[in-house]
Every structure is written in C-alpha cells, then in structure tokens.
Structure 1
C-alpha cells in the first residue's frame, strides 16, 4: 500500500520537527498538494530543472528538498521567467515540493550530524543553541489494574525522558471517588451511586513539543469516559537543539591533511583552506551551508578549524588573524543529506509496510567549477 503525502511528511517531521527551525525560515509544503498517494519521494538538496526532470522520469509525486524554491512572497507567476518555468513544470506534472531547511540542520541525525559523522568527529556540542524544549508535568489518575497500558502509551508518545533516561514516572496509590450523573456511560460504577476506586496517580515529564501527542495517547489508552488529569509548566528545560557541531578527531593531523580529508569525506571537487598548512588540527567545528558569521562561535568553542561554506574574503582575513583555520568545502557539501534522508525515510516507510520508495537525487547541483 502506498503512503499518502501527509504520512510521508509526518515521518519527515519526526526527523526534522518544524518547531526547531530558525524563526521565519521558509520550510514546509511550498508547492502542490499532499492529498494523494505517493509512489516515489525524491530527496534533493536543490530543486533545479534537471532535478525536476529526474522526478518526472522517476514518476515521483513528491520532492523533499533542503533549499527552498520560494524565498519571498510572490508578486507574480510569470512562466517566461526561470522560476516561473520551474513552478509551471512542477504543477503540470503534479509534483509537490516540501522543504526541510534549518530544522534539518538542527535536528539530531540531520545535516550537521551527517557532516560530523562523515568527518569522523566525536561530537561534544553545538556552535549555537537555537531551541530549548520546555518541560511540563503531566499527572493522570488511572485504575490500579489498568495503569500499565496508560503509562506505556504516554512513554511511547514521548513522555518520561530525563537526560539519558527514559520511562521516568512516579506513582502513588490512593482512592478515587465519582458519582455518575444522568447521561454518563461509566466504565466503572452505576448511575446515581457514589463509587470508590483504587487508583494510581501517575506523574511524568512531557516536553512541550510533544504535549499534544502525549495527551492524545493518554486519553486514547485511558478507560474512563471523563479522564482526570493535570498538565502544568515547570521551571526546567528539556533538550536543547543547535546549529553546527563541535567535536574532536580521533587524533591530531595537519591542516593540509585535514583539508584533503574534508574533500574526500564530503565528496566535493575542491576545498578552500585558510591557515598555516602544518597547523595541528584536533578540535573541529562544522556547519553546513553559509557559515561566515559563525567564525566567532567556533573561536569561542575552542575549535582549531571551522568547516563551512561561503566564506568571504574579509571573514577569511579575520579568521587568519584570530588564529583559527577554515576549510570551505562549499555550500553544496550539504548534498550529504540526500542519501542520509532518503535512507532514513525508506527505513520508516518499510517499518510501516508501505510500498512508497524514497530515492536520493543523482543530479549534481554544484554551481561552481574549478578550472
């Protein structure tokens, strides 16, 4: 059975939740409809004419891209312009385009983690914190004999995680009372009779981002017609998500050797290097995309080198003067996300026994050529 477009996107948002994106980033569905069966999803870095032709050849109904095709509000849609022709081709072939940008950069297992893993880094932190999930306390009262299914449903939906521990809860036994009124359909008890039931008060932690999902799961698993529960904020923070990664190489190497390592690991045709060739490199900061404004972050993190794209001349001069090296593999180094996202999506689709396939684009969208 084929997955619906909404299902594919829901899976994608498990990897790259929209709420962790940088504010005002252009993410989500940008063109077309998700209300259809999807036989093939094409995962790409950029949406170009060649990529759209590839999607047409594959009979793909959905493209998931890292870079947006619509950056600003459209004042017109003229099909004799390059952008207009692209939109027209997508619409004529009923191909939807969904964007996962900074949310995919920030996500655990996203672009920056893929790049760090390819470079062989043991990650120790972020370059810049972007989003911290607030924690809430969920309290629910359940009959003693049915507490386990309710607790497990909440855990499965995302409750109960504290640091490196999961399934965290506190449980207190007590007596619940209620009197069914006219119109009630009680799971326990009878109309007009006061009931006393042995119940358990279950307390657990819920990230604010998972609040709706956890509450819905709890209500679905709970046997009562009217569920007694409390949900309140706490002065505690949950997980923090951030842009870029900082980590260490297994052993120190020279900057020139490291530059060659970056070129091979990220499969790019060339890299630009700033710094003394024999400088010792051990601690590395990496950021997919344009990272000129993150040089100071890398210095503050104590990195020997920053791996990022689109470094301008004056930023390179400042970095050299500050004593931090730079290896610039270009913006297109983010293409690592194509195979990574396609494999992740295919695994989730297979788990759901879906016949939908996720395919990494084979089109090279690198703009720059080295002569």
Structure 2
C-alpha cells in the first residue's frame, strides 16, 4: 500500500509545522496535486531542470524541496522563460512540489539542529526566536478507577512538561455530581437518578503544539460519555523555537582546525574564513542559509565563531571589528537536509506500513565553482 500525497505532507508538517515559518515565507504545496497515491518521493535542496530529470527517471510523483520554486510573484507563466519552463516540466511529468523552508530551519530536529549535530555542538540554544509555544492549563475530572490511565494518556500525548521535568501534574480528590438525562448512557449511575462519584481533579500543562493530540488522548482514555474538563490560556512562556543554534565544541580548537571541521561536516571543498586562524574557538553559532544579518545575534550570544553562508564584505568587517570570527561554507551547506529528511520521512512511512520509497537527490545544485 502506498501513502497518499496528503498523508506525506501531514508527516512533513509534523516534522516542520507551517506556523514555525517566518512571516511571508513561501512554503507548502507550490506545484501540482497530492490528491493521489505516491510511490516515490525525492528530497532535494533546490528544484532545477536536472533534479526534475532525476525525479522523472525515478518515477517520482512528489518532490520535497527546501528552496521555493515560486518565490517571487509571477506576472505570467510563459514556457519560454526559466520559471515557466520549470513549471511546465513539472506539470508535464505530473510531479508535485512541496516546500519546507524556514519552518524546517526552525523545527527542533530540523536543518539547524542537523548542522549543529554535524559540528558536535552541545548545550544548544536558539540563535533567534521565531515561535514560542503558548501554554495552557488543562483541568480534568476523572473517576478514581481511571485516574492513572487518563493521566498517562495525556502525558504520552505531550502534556505535563515544565522545563526538563515531565509528567508534572497536581491531583486533588473530590466528589463529582451529575444527573443522567434521557438518551444518556452513564458509566456511573442510572438515568434519572442524582449521582455522586469519587473523582480526582487533575491539573497539568499543555503546549499549544500538543493541544489537539492531548485532548484527543484524554477523551479516548476517559470512561465518561461527557467529559468534564477546562482549558485555560496561561501567561507563562512556553518552549521557544527559532533560527540558528548556539552551542559548544567538545574542546577549544584553533579557527584553522575548526574550518577543517566545517569542511568535513558539510562536505564542502572550501570555506571563506574571517579572523585569525590561530584564535581559539569553543562557543559556536551556526545558521543554515544566508546569515549575514545574524552577525549581531551571534555577538550578543557570546559566540566565538559564526558558521553561516552568504557573508558580505561589510558584515565580515563588522564581525572582525567586534571580535567575532566567521566560517562561511556557502548557502549550499543546507544540502545536509537531503539525507536527513529522506531518512526521517522513510522511517515514518515504513512505521505506518506504507511501501512508498523516499530518495535523497544526487544532483549537485551548488551554482558556484572554485577556479
């Protein structure tokens, strides 16, 4: 059995929810339709004519890309232009394109975490906050007989986290009252009779990202026909998600040594370096893509070095003057997403019993060459 396209996109949005994207980012389904079974998926950084040829040769119905196919508004769709010809080729081969961009950058376990993993960074924090999970207080009333079952269900669904502590709740014993009316099928008591039941009031924390899943789990595990519960918005700040990561190397090393580490980690033939090669670096800020505007963020975070792409002349000068070193492996270092997304999605589909195959593109889309 092959997964339908809609199912695959739902899985991708579990990895990188759309609301994690920065405002006005061009994400989501951009070309074609996913209202069909998908036998093969191709994961790529960019969609180019060579990538489309690769996808067609594989028999791919869906491409998942990081960079948008349609980024700027189209005034027309002429097939004698590069953009028009690309769209025509995709439609001719019946290949849909789904974009996961800054939401994949921001996501926990997304591009910036993969880059930080490749550099062996520990004790990581977000470089720039993009999204903070709103917190809710869930109060539910459960009969004693099902207290543990219901509480375990909501914990497993994502409730009960406070910082690094899980399974957090407050539990109070009490008496619940209710009068089952005509048409009811009460778990406790009888129709038309006033009923009292020993219940436990359970209070716990629920992040917005897990709210639907937690409520669904609670309703499924709860024995009552009509479940009594309250959900309150809270002013407390939840978990932060954002662009870039800041962490520490296992041990300090020279900038020259670190440059070699970056080349190996991101499989690039060269890097551009700003700073003294003998300088010792330990605290590292890393951000996939173009990160010139994050120089100040890295300085504020106390980083010794910033790893990012597309650094311009003046940003390099500003960093050098502020004592921040930079390693620029190029925008294309984000290609680390290809094998990682392909593996993650493949495992998700396999665990759900689907035969859909997922491939990482082998086409090199780096536009620059070193002479």
Q: Could you say which TM-score interval applies, normalised by the shorter chain?
A: over 0.9
> For residues 215-241 of structure 1, what are the alpha-carbon distances to aligned partners after superposition, in whole Å with 9 as ceiling and x for unaligned?
222223322222211000122112111
Equivalent in the alignment of 1:325: 325
Q: 1:146-225 alignment to 2 at 5 Å?
A: 146-225=146-225
**Counterpart secondary structure, 1:182:** coil
- Does structure 1 residue 227 correspond to structure 2 residue 223? no
Q: Is the 8 A contact 1:128 1:297 kept in 2?
A: yes
Consecutive unaligned residues of structure 1, counting only runs of 5 or more, are none
Partner of 2:99: 99
Q: Which deviates the most, 228-237 or 85-94?
A: 85-94
Q: TM-score, normalised by structure 1?
A: 0.95
Question: Where does residue 296 of structure 1 map in the other structure?
Answer: 296
Who is 2:74 aligned against? 74
1:187 Cα shift?
A: 3.2
In 2, are the aligned partners of 1:43 and 1:338 still within 8 Å (CA)? yes
Give me the whole-angstrom Cα distance separating, in 2, the residues matched to 1:331 and 1:142: 53
Q: 5 Å matches for 1:244-283?
A: 244-283=244-283
Structure 1 position 51 matched with structure 2 position 51: yes
Q: CA deviation at 1:303?
A: 1.4
Structure 2 gap segments, 5+ residues each: none
User: Contact conserved, 1:123 with 1:245, CA < 8 A, in 2?
Assistant: no
- Aligned length in residues: 371
Query: What is the CA–CA distance in structure 1 between the aligned matches of 2:40 and 2:288, rounded to whole Å?
Result: 27
CA drift of 1:92 comes to 2.2
The alpha carbon displacement at 1:296 in A equals: 0.9
Stretch moving more, 291-300 or 250-259:
250-259
Deviations 1:2-36 (A, max 9, x none): 22222222222222122222122111222222222
Give the CA deviation at 1:244.
0.8
- SS of the residue 1:286 aligns to: strand
Q: Distance in 2 between matches of 1:168 and 1:195?
A: 31
TM-score for the superposition, normalised by structure 2: 0.95
| Shift, 1:271, TM fit | 0.9
In structure 2, distance between residues paired with 1:146 and 1:249: 47
Query: Equivalents in 2 of 1:38, 1:151: separation in Å?
Result: 38
Give yes or no for contact 1:116–1:123 (8 Å, CA) kept in 2: no
The residue that corresponds to 2:83 in the other structure is 83
Match of 1:346 in 2: 346
Aligned to 1:201, the other structure's residue is in SS state: strand
Instruction: Give distance in 1, aligned partners of 2:110 and 2:246.
Output: 14
C-alpha distance in 2, partners of 1:143/1:97? 49
Q: CA deviation at 1:364?
A: 0.7
- CA distance in 1: counterparts of 2:101 and 2:81, whole angstroms: 25
Using a 3 Å threshold, how does the CA distance of structure 1 residues 149 and 35 change in structure 2: closer, same or farther? farther
| Secondary structure, aligned partner of 2:237 | strand
Q: Deviation per CA, 1:130-181, whole angstroms, max 9, x where unpaired?
A: 2111210011112221233322332232211221222222222222111122
Once the two structures are superposed, residues 293-337 of structure 1 have per-residue CA deviations (whole angstroms, 9 ceiling, x without a partner) of 111111111212111100111111222222211111100000001
Deviations 1:204-223 (A, max 9, x none): 11002222222222223322
Distance 2:188 2:6 in 1: 38
Helix, strand or coil at the partner of 1:289: strand
Partner of 2:165: helix, strand, or coil?
A: coil
Distance 2:283 2:78 in 1: 49
User: What corresponds to 2:127 in structure 1?
Assistant: 127
Q: 1:357 to 1:152 in 2, by over 3 A?
A: farther
Q: Distance in 1 between matches of 2:32 and 2:141?
A: 45
Encode CA deviations 1:222-280: one digit per residue, 9 max, x unaligned.
Answer: 22222211000122112111211112222222222222221121101221111122222
- The 1:75–1:234 alpha-carbon spacing in structure 2 relative to 1, beyond 3 Å, is same
**RMSD, matched Cα:** 1.6
Partner of 1:360: 360
